[in-house]
Structure 1
Amino acid sequence: MRVSLLVSALILLAAPPVVRAARSKCDLVVNAEGIAEKPEHSKSCTDGDSACDTGQGADGICQYHVSLCFKTAAKGACAREEIEGMSVTAGPGLEGLVGAMTRFKTNLTADSCTEPVDVQVKTRGKRIGRTVLKEQGPGKRERYTFVCRPAHKVGGVGGTTFAKDIQKKIFDTTCATEFCHGTGAASGGLDLSDGAAYANLVGVLATNEAAKAANLQRVLPNDPADSFLLLKLEGTLAAGQGVPMPLVGGPLPASAIDTIRR
Structure 2
Amino acid sequence: MHVLILGGTTEARRLAELLAAEPVPGLRVTNSLAGRVSAPRLPPGEVRVGGFGGADGLAAWLREHEVDALIDATHPFAGRISFNAARAAATAHVPLLALRRPGWVPVAGDDWREVESLEEAARSLPGIGRRVFLTTGRMGLAAFADLTDLWFLVRSVDAPEPPHPPRMEVLLDRGPFTLDGERELLRRHRIDVVVTKDSGGAATAPKLRAAREAGVPVVVVRRPPVPDGVRVVAESEQALRWLATRPAFPAAG
Tell me the TM-score range normalised by the shorter chain.
under 0.3
The structure with more radius of gyration: 1
Which structure has more relative contact order (CA 8 Å, sep 6+)? It is 2
Give me the TM-score of the superposition, normalised by structure 1.
0.24
Report the TM-score when normalising by structure 2.
0.24
